[in-house]
C-alpha cells in the first residue's frame, strides 16, 4: 500500500511538546533560586499551581469538552509554573487553586484551548487573584537563605517589594533617601529581594532566556523592545529629576520586568506574528508598564501591560505585515 | 571564498540525504514498452502526429506543440505504436499517451550520435530559438516550461543576465549534480548557446556549497568560456526557486506577480543547458534525461540516463528493486515532489528523480492546534503568513487571501515542514491559490 499525500513529504523535528518543555526547562534556574530564597514554601506553591493547572485542563477536556486530553503537551505545565512565579510564596493553597482554575478554565479552555486564547492564561489568573485577594497577593514574605546564610534583608523593607517600597515611600521621601534603605544592586541581580517567587532573580531568568533564544523558542524582538523602551522611558524621567524618579537599572531589576519580557510577553499564542509587530508590541508593553509604575495606583504594571497589549495583538497583526518578497520595486 | 551568498528571507535546512551523489550516471536499458504522454510541458498538450499501428523511430516527431506555450514531443524509442490511450502520468491524472512496443533502437538520421564534443556555436540567435523549439526542449528543473518561450524576451523588456540553476536544493536528488560533474563542458556550451539565444553577455551558474566538486570543476571549465561565472551558494532550501536564486546570485527581487525578466534575468536549469547543447550542437531532441532513484531503503541508489516513457518500475528494479518497507513513491524530491500512484507511471521530461520513502517516513505527523508560533512566517521565502493564508482558505475568505498575497506562494512547503503542530498549511494554501486564481482569471474576462 502506497501513501499518497501532498508535498512536503518530510517534516522537521519541531513539535508543540518540544517547545513547551524547552520553556519549562528554561524556567528551572528561576525555580531553584525561588526555593533557595523562599524555602519549601516556594516549592509548595510551584507544585500546587502546576498540579492544579494540569488537573483543571484534564477535567475540562475530559468531562466538559469530551475531547482528546492533551495535558502532556506541556502547555498547562508552563501556565502552572508561570502562575506560581507570579504570586507570593506564602499564598494560601486555596487561593492558588482558584487562580489556576481561572487561568486554565476561563482564560484558556473557554476560548478553545491551546492556541486559541487571546490573553496569556497565567497572567489572567494572576490579575484575577490580585484584584480579588489584594491583601494576600501583596503581602510578601522576606527572602531568607535556605541553608542559613548570614546575609539579612534590610529591616526597613519588611516584606515589601522594592517597587512597592518605592511607591509608598515617595509620598514623604526622595528617591536617593529610599535607595539607602533598600537592597543593593547585587541583591537585585541575584534575587535577594522581596517579590513574587519567580521574578526576583534577574540572573536566573536571563539564564533561561538565553537558553530559549538559542533554542529559537523565542525571538529577540519582544524582550529587546520591551526592556529597551522601559530603560529609555525611565532613563529620560531619571535625567529630568533623579529625586523623584528611580534609575533605569532599578526598574529593570526589581520587579517582574525580566520575567514578563522573556517568559510572558513572548507567549506565542497571544503576541503578534511579524517581527515589526512584535517590536511595536514590546514598546507598548514597556510604555504601559512605566505609566502604571510611575503614575498608576499599583506599584507594578508588567501584568497589566502585557494583558493590555495582548488585546491589541489582532490589530497589530493587521497593521504590521512581515516584509514581503519583491515588495520594493527595484529598477531593473 | 568569504561569506557565501544566499537569499535573504526565510528558508529551512532539511537533512540533505544525497545518497547517490557519488554514483556516476548509468545508461538505462531500453524499456519493453514505452508510455509517452502527449503533454509533458507546462501549457497546452501536443497534437498527435502518428497513429496506432505506425512504425516510428527514435527522435521522430510524434506530437506537435501548436499553441504558444506548448512543446513538441519526439519518440524516445523505435517500434510500433500500439495505441493512444489514457495513462496515469506523474501528475496523478490519466492523460493521453502513446503506448509504443519497443523494437530495436533505430534513430532518425539527422541526429549526430557521435561522441564528438562540439564547442563552436554556428547557429544564429533566431536559429537557436527555432532549434530549441523544434526539438521540444523544456525546463528540466521540474516546471517543464517550454525553453524557447523563455528566450523570446517580451517587447519593452531587456535580458541582462542568464542564470543557470545548479542548486538542486531538494534533499536526495543528485541528477543535476552528476550532470555538472560528468557533462561539464556540454553544460558550459549549452549555457553559451542560451546566452546567444537570449542576447546576453553574462551568465551566472548558481551551485550550493554541498557540491564542492561541481563548483571547482565548473570554475575550472569557466576559464575557457566567455562571460560565465560560477556562484557558490550557502545551502538553504528553497534556493532553487527561481525568485530565490535570482535574489541569491544577483541580489535582485522579482516583484510580486511578475516574471524574472522584469529584473533582466532569465533562469534555466543545468539539465536544460545540457539538453540545449544536445539539441543545438547534435540535433538531438529531448528524448532522455538523468533521473535519480533514491531512498534510505533502496539498495542501489543511483543516477540513470533513462529514455522518456520508461516505466518507473524498470528504474526501481535497476536500483535494486522496491524495498519491502516502502510506504511512499515520490516523483521529484521530498519537499516539492508529487506522490505517485503506481510503479507503472512513466518517466517524463520533468522527472528529476524517484524517491522511495519508508513506511515510517510516509505518514504525516498528527495535526494539533496552531499555537501561532509564527515559525511558518519566519521560514516563508516569500515573506507571507502561511498560518493566516491557511486560515483564510479554510474559511473561504478569498478576498482577504488575495490581499495577503496568496498568489505569491511558490509552494515550497517550508511552512508545513517547520510547523510544530504538524498543520498541513500548504494543502490549504494550494486550495486557496486555486480558488483565488480562478477569481482573478474570471475578473480578467469581464
A316 CB neighbours in chain B (<8 A) are none
CA A197 – CA A303 distance, rounded (Å): 15
B301 and B249 in one domain?
A: yes
B128 and B194 housed in the same domain: yes
pLDDT in tens, A219-264: 999 999 999 999 999 999 999 999 989 999 999 998 899 999 999 9
Residue A149 has pLDDT above 60, yes or no: no
> Which SS3 state, helix, strand or coil, does residue B427 take?
helix
Task: Decide: A14 and B420 in contact? Cβ < 8 Å.
Answer: yes
For B96, phi and psi rounded to 5 degrees?
-60, 140
Inter-axis angle of helices B125-134 and B270-282, nearest 10: 100
- State the pLDDT at residue A153: 67
B415 three-state secondary structure:
helix
pLDDT score of A319: 93
Task: Indicate the angle between helix axes B184-198 and B270-282, nearest 10 degrees.
Answer: 80
> What are phi and psi for residue A17, nearest 5 degrees?
-60, -45
- Work out the minimum CA distance from A331 to partner chain B, whole angstroms: 7
Q: How many helices (H) and strands (E) does chain B have?
A: 14, 17
pLDDT tens, residue by residue, B22-59: 999 999 999 999 999 998 888 888 899 999 999 999 99
Q: Which residues of A touch B378 (CB under 8 A)?
A: 219
Answer whether residue B78 is part of any domain: no
Cβ contact, residue pair B256, A327, below 8 Å: yes
Check whether residue B245 and residue B379 sit in a common domain: no
DSSP 8-state symbol, B28? P
User: How close A21 gets to chain B, by Cα (Å)?
Assistant: 13
**Domain ends where: B363, B398, B426?**
B363
Same domain membership, residue B379 and residue B358: no
Contact at CB, A329 and B255, closer than 8 angstroms: yes
Q: With a cut of 60, say whether residue A146 has pLDDT above it.
A: no
CA nearest neighbour of B80 among B57, B97, B60, B55 = B55
pLDDT of residue B395: 95
- Place A332 in a pLDDT band, splitting at 50, 70 and 90: very low
Give me the residues of A, 102-131, that contact B with CB < 8 A: 112-116
When pLDDT is averaged across residues A264-285 and rounded to a whole number, the result is 96
Residue B184 contacts A where some CB pair is shorter than 8 Å: no
Per the domain annotation, does B382 fall within a domain?
yes
Q: At CA B443, angle to CA B440 and CA B446, rounded to 5?
A: 160
Residue A280 pLDDT > 70? yes
- B30: three-class secondary structure by DSSP: coil
> What is A243-293 written as a DSSP string?
TTS--HHHHHHHSSHHHIIIIITT-TTTS-SSHHHHHHHHHHHHHHHHHHH
CA distance B276 to B190: 5
Strand partners, B97: B37, B85
Q: At what angle do helices A275-295 and A221-240 cross, to 10 degrees?
A: 40
**Is the confidence at residue A162, as pLDDT, over 90?**
no
- Domain co-membership, B270 together with B415: no
Q: Which residues of A touch B256 (CB under 8 A)?
A: 324-327
pLDDT score, position A330: 44
Rounded CA separation B84/B403 (Å): 44
Provide the number of structural domains found in chain B. 2
The predicted pLDDT at position A138 comes to 86
**Inside any domain, residue B56:** no
Which stretches of chain B score pLDDT less than 70?
A: 1-2
Domain assignment present for B89: no
Specify whether B288 is located in the same domain as B268: yes
Question: In this structure, are B303 and B428 located in the same domain?
Answer: no
Assess if residue B74 is contained within a domain.
Answer: no
The residue segments making up the domain with residue B410 are: 375-445
What's the average model confidence in pLDDT over A26-49? 93
Nearest to B336 among A5, A7, A268 (CB): A7
Backbone angles phi, psi at B290, to 5 degrees: -90, 130
Percentage of chain A with pLDDT > 90?
71
CB neighbour list of residue A24: distance below 8 Å, 6 or more residues apart:
A74, A77, A78, A81
pLDDT tens-digit profile of B311-336? 999 999 999 999 999 999 999 999 99
Question: With an 8 Å Cβ cutoff, is A72 touching chain B?
Answer: no
Q: What is the CATH number of the domain that holds B157?
A: 3.40.50.11540
A326, B427: Cβ pair inside 8 Å?
no
Query: What residues have CB less than 8 Å from B407, skipping those under 6 apart?
Result: B257, B433, B436, B437, B440
Q: Which residues in chain B (190-209) have CB-CB distances under 8 A to chain A?
A: none
Question: Considering the domain boundaries, does residue B183 fall inside one?
Answer: yes
Q: Is B397 on the interface with A (CB under 8 A)?
A: no
Residue A331 confidence (pLDDT): 44
Residue A62 sits at the chain B interface (C-beta within 8 Å): no
Both B277 and B381 in a single domain?
no
Do B346 and B407 reside in the same domain of the chain? no
Closest B-chain CA to A4: B339
Q: Considering B328, B363, B398, which residue would you say is the last residue of a domain?
A: B363
Q: Based on the domain organization, do B302 and B438 belong to the same domain? A: no
Whether residue B406 is found in the same domain as residue B358: no
pLDDT of residue A158: 64
Of B256, B326, B413, the CB nearest to A326: B256
B431 lies in a domain? yes
Q: What is the pLDDT of residues A5-20, one digit of tens each?
A: 999 999 998 999 999 9
Are B107 and B78 spatial neighbours (Cβ–Cβ below 8 Å)?
yes
> With an 8 Å Cβ cutoff, are B335 and A114 in contact?
no
- Predicted confidence band of residue A147 (pLDDT cuts 50, 70, 90): low
Residue B415's pLDDT is what?
A: 97
Mean residue pLDDT across chain A: 90
Would you tell me how many other CB atoms lie within 10 Å of the CB of residue A304? 19
Angle at A258 between CA A254 and CA A260, to 5 degrees: 110
Whole-angstrom distance, CA of residue B46 vs CA of residue B134: 12
| Final residue belonging to a domain, choices B335, B363, B391 | B363
> What SS3 class is residue A309?
helix
Task: Judge whether B434 lies within some domain.
Answer: yes
Please report the pLDDT score of residue A156 as a whole number.
Answer: 62
The span from the CA of A205 to the CA of A252, in Å, is 12
User: B379 with B352, same domain?
Assistant: no
Cβ separation of B341 and A328 shorter than 8 Å? no
Judging contacts by C-beta atoms under 8 Å, the chain B residues touching residue A73 are 368
pTM for the predicted model, two decimal places: 0.91
Amino acid at each position: 500500500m502506497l501513501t499518497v499525500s501532498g508535498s512536503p513529504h518530510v517534516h522537521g523535528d519541531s513539535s508543540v511538546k518540544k517547545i513547551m518543555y524547552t520553556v519549562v526547562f528554561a524556567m528551572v534556574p528561576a525555580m531553584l533560586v525561588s526555593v533557595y530564597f523562599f524555602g519549601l514554601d516556594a516549592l509548595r506553591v510551584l507544585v500546587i499551581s502546576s498540579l492544579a493547572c494540569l488537573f483543571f485542563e484534564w477535567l475540562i477536556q475530559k468531562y466538559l469538552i469530551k475531547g482528546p486530553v492533551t495535558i502532556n503537551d506541556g502547555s498547562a505545565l508552563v501556565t502552572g509554573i508561570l502562575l506560581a512565579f507570579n504570586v507570593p510564596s506564602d499564598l494560601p493553597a486555596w487561593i492558588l487553586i482558584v487562580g489556576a482554575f481561572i487561568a486554565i478554565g476561563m482564560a484558556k479552555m473557554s476560548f478553545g484551548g491551546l492556541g486559541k486564547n487571546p490573553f496569556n492564561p497565567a497572567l489572567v489568573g494572576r490579575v484575577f487573584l490580585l484584584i480579588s485577594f489584594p491583601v494576600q497577593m501583596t503581602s510578601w514574605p522576606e527572602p531568607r537563605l535556605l541553608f542559613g546564610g548570614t546575609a539579612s534583608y534590610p529591616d526597613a523593607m519588611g516584606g515589601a517589594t522594592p517597587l512597592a517600597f518605592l511607591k509608598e515611600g515617595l509620598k514623604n521621601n526622595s528617591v536617593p533617601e529610599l535607595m539607602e534603605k533598600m537592597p543593593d544592586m547585587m541583591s537585585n541581580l541575584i534575587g535577594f529581594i522581596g517579590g513574587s517567587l519567580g521574578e526576583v532573580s534577574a540572573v536566573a531568568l536571563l539564564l533561561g532566556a538565553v537558553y530559549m533564544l538559542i533554542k529559537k523558542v523565542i525571538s529577540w524582538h519582544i524582550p529587546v523592545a520591551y526592556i529597551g523602551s522601559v530603560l529609555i522611558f525611565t532613563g529620560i524621567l531619571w535625567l529630568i529629576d533623579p529625586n523623584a524618579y528611580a534609575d533605569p537599572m532599578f526598574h529593570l531589576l526589581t520587579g517582574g520586568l525580566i520575567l514578563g519580557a522573556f517568559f510572558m510577553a513572548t507567549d506565542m499564542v497571544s503576541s503578534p506574528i511579524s517581527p515589526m509587530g512584535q517590536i511595536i508590541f514590546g514598546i507598548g508593553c514597556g510604555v504601559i508598564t512605566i505609566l502604571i509604575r510611575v503614575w498608576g495606583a499599583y506599584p507594578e504594571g508588567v501584568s497589566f501591560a502585557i494583558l493590555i497589549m495582548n488585546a491589541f495583538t489582532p490589530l497589530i497583526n493587521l497593521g504590521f505585515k512581515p516584509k514581503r518578497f519583491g515588495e520594493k520595486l527595484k529598477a531593473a | 571564498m568569504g561569506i557565501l551568498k544566499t537569499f535573504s528571507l526565510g528558508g529551512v535546512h532539511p537533512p540533505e540525504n544525497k545518497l547517490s551523489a557519488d554514483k556516476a550516471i548509468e545508461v538505462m536499458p531500453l524499456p519493453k514498452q514505452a508510455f509517452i504522454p502527449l503533454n509533458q510541458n507546462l501549457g497546452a498538450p501536443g497534437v498527435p502526429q502518428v497513429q496506432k499501428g505506425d512504425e516510428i523511430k527514435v527522435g521522430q516527431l510524434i506530437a506537435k506543440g501548436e499553441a504558444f506555450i506548448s512543446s513538441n514531443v519526439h519518440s524516445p524509442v523505435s517500434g510500433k505504436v500500439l495505441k493512444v490511450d489514457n495513462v496515469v502520468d506523474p501528475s496523478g491524472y490519466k492523460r493521453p499517451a502513446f503506448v509504443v512496443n519497443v523494437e530495436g533502437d533505430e534513430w532518425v538520421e539527422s541526429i549526430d550520435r557521435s561522441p564528438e564534443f562540439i564547442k563552436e556555436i554556428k547557429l544564429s540567435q533566431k536559429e537557436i530559438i527555432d532549434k530549441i523549439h523544434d526539438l521540444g526542449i523544456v525546463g528540466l528543473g521540474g516546471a517543464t516550461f517550454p525553453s524557447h518561450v523563455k528566450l523570446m524576451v517580451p517587447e519593452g523588456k531587456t535580458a541582462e543576465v542568464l542564470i543557470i540553476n545548479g542548486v538542486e536544493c531538494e534533499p536526495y536528488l543528485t541528477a543535476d549534480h552528476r550532470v555538472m560533474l560528468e557533462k561539464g563542458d556540454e553544460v558550459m556550451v549549452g549555457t553559451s548557446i542560451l546566452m546567444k539565444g537570449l542576447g546576453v553577455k553574462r551568465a551566472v551558474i548558481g551551485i550550493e556549497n554541498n557540491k564542492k566538486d561541481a563548483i571547482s570543476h565548473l570554475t575550472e571549465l569557466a576559464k575557457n568560456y566567455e562571460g560565465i561565472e560560477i556562484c557558490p551558494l550557502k545551502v538553504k532550501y528553497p534556493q532553487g526557486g527561481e525568485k530565490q536564486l535570482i535574489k541569491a546570485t544577483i541580489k535582485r527581487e522579482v516583484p510580486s506577480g511578475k516574471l524574472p525578466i522584469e529584473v533582466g534575468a532569465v533562469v534555466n536549469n543545468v539539465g536544460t543547458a545540457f539538453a540545449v547543447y544536445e539539441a543545438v550542437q547534435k540535433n538531438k531532441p529531448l528524448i532522455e534525461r538523468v533521473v535519480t532513484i533514491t531512498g534510505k531503503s533502496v539498495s542501489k541508489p543511483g543516477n540513470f540516463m533513462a529514455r522518456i516513457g520508461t516505466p518507473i518500475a524498470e528504474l526501481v528494479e535497476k536500483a535494486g528493486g522496491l524495498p519491502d518497507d516502502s510506504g511512499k513513491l515520490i516523483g521529484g524530491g521530498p519537499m516539492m515532489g508529487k506522490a505517485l500512484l503506481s510503479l507503472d507511471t512513466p518517466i517524463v521530461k520533468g522527472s528529476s528523480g524517484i524517491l522511495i520513502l519508508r513506511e515510517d517516513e510516509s505518514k504525516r505527523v498528527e495535526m494539533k492546534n496552531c499555537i501561532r508560533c509564527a515559525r511558518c512566517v519566519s521560514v516563508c521565502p516569500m515573506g507571507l503568513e502561511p498560518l493566516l493564508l491557511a486560515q483564510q482558505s479554510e474559511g473561504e475568505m478569498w478576498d482577504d487571501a488575495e490581499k495577503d498575497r496568496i498568489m505569491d506562494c511558490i509552494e515550497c512547503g517550508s511552512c508545513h515542514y517547520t510547523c510544530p503542530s504538524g498543520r498541513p498549511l500548504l494543502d490549504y494554501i494550494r486550495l486557496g491559490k486555486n480558488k483565488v486564481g480562478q477569481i482573478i482569471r474570471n475578473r480578467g474576462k469581464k
